[in-house]
Amino acid sequence: MILRKPDFYSQFKCTASRCSDTCCVGWEIDIDETTQRTYRKAEGPFGDKLRESIEDGHFKLLPHDRCPFLDKENLCEIYRNLGENYLCDICREHPRFVEVYGDIMEQGLGLCCEEATRLLLEGEGPLVFTSEECDEPEDELSKDDIEIRNEVLYVREQIFSVLADSTTPFKERLYTAFGYIDENPFAPLDSVRELYELLAKTVSFGPAWDSALVRIKARIDAASADSTPIEDQGYFTETESSRLLAYLVYRHFAKCLFEGHADGKRNFAVFFWNVVRFFTRELGGKIGAVKILSRQLEYCEENMELVEQALDR
């Protein structure tokens, strides 16, 4: 099995209470069966609290959707009292993700995590990936499926190569990789209003997103009233943009092997990039914009399907 990772993967370490956000608020936290069996055997008052806080295979959230084991310092009481080995799978692995394509395994870090986003954007030069052998079991693919996989990964590698070529003007790289041209800055959609309308159709993850969407609409309405164009707010450098685009292609494009919508998955990278660069302030700053949009879209299958179908042109 070949294991691939982005260049910043090994640098990641949870910043815990130093994070301006927390992944222990606003999510339903499912507990895998192995961990549930461990919790059933935990002793003492803390063991009682563990069992009392579980309902239908997940933790019963407190007001404001806080995990019942998130303390006042935004640290995990389970980790503090019992150690890392007692964390359920999702808490131990988040924000990591894994995709397997036959004898190729790919790992990455979800951009809903601000530290993962920081590492991606602050990396020097183009995004690169490491490869190594690992002992994980392979997924069986037919000979035909392997050929298709190789074709898809070849196309993806070409996109990576184009985006990484700093000797070519960035506009040319965007055109070669995505067919993107300045005459329509909101491509693959036709206007900023269409961009907003697609975002508005997605299922909201909560008040933070709802407020951001209101700010985006207000800016679009004001620009329309004044007949002024919506412009790139200038927060993202070309290096940051190329790394973000490449990473979004890395995470999503190859899934067309199983899900289809190849064009939609490729165009998703440009759509995401357009949203965060045109509405950086409305979405809470550079890292905040990537983080909130990732959480809104990439962590909801329904939203991803909606957006990818709309962009599958």
DSSP state letters, 227-254? T------S-S-HHHHHHHHHHHHHHHGG
The answer on 285 and 145 residing in a single domain is yes
The answer on 162 and 33 residing in a single domain is no
Is residue 82 one of the residues assigned to a domain? yes
- 202 versus 30: the higher-pLDDT residue is 202
- Residue given tokens 């994980």 in the structure block: 136
The answer on 45 and 173 residing in a single domain is no
Is residue 267 one of the residues assigned to a domain? yes
Q: How far apart are CA 127 and CA 95, in angstroms?
A: 19
The answer on 285 and 169 residing in a single domain is yes
Is residue 76 one of the residues assigned to a domain? yes
The answer on 261 and 183 residing in a single domain is yes
pLDDT at 298 over 80: yes
- Average pLDDT over every residue of 267-278: 97
Per-residue CA distances from 156 to 140, 149, 212, 244 (Å) = 22, 11, 32, 14
Mean pLDDT, the chain, whole residue set: 93
- Average pLDDT over every residue of 115-119: 97
The answer on 260 and 153 residing in a single domain is yes
Is the Cα dihedral 272, 29, 254, 2 positive or negative?
A: positive
Beta bridge pairs of residue 6: 129
- Average pLDDT over every residue of 237-266: 97
- 184 versus 224: the higher-pLDDT residue is 224
The answer on 240 and 162 residing in a single domain is yes
Task: Please tell me the predicted confidence (pLDDT) of residue 176.
Answer: 95
The answer on 145 and 64 residing in a single domain is no
Task: Please tell me the predicted confidence (pLDDT) of residue 215.
Answer: 98
Task: Please tell me the predicted confidence (pLDDT) of residue 243.
Answer: 98
- Average pLDDT over every residue of 214-230: 95
The two tokens of residue 129 are: 């990936």
The answer on 182 and 85 residing in a single domain is no
Task: Please tell me the predicted confidence (pLDDT) of residue 42.
Answer: 87
CB burial string 167-182: b at 16+ within 10 A, e below: eeeeeebbebbbebee
The domain total for the chain is 2
pLDDT at 183 over 90: no
The angle that helices 286-297 and 114-122 make with each other, rounded to 10 degrees, is: 120
304 phi and psi angles, rounded to 5 deg: -65, -40
Is residue 182 one of the residues assigned to a domain? yes
The two tokens of residue 22 are: 């927390």
Task: Please tell me the predicted confidence (pLDDT) of residue 90.
Answer: 87
Is residue 62 one of the residues assigned to a domain? yes
Burial class (CB in 10 A: 0-12, 13-18, 19+), 299: middle
Question: Which range of residues forms the domain containing residue 296?
Answer: 140-189+230-311
State the pLDDT confidence band at 174, using cuts at 50, 70 and 90: very high
Is residue 7 one of the residues assigned to a domain? no
The set of residues, in sequence order, having a beta carbon less than 8 Å from that of 156 and lying 6+ positions away, is 249, 250, 253, 254
Highest mean pLDDT: which range of 6-10, 17-21, 68-72: 6-10
The answer on 168 and 258 residing in a single domain is yes
Is residue 194 one of the residues assigned to a domain? no
Is residue 129 one of the residues assigned to a domain? no
Task: Please tell me the predicted confidence (pLDDT) of residue 74.
Answer: 84
Residue type, 268: F
The answer on 235 and 153 residing in a single domain is yes
pTM greater than the 0.85 cutoff: yes
The answer on 56 and 165 residing in a single domain is no
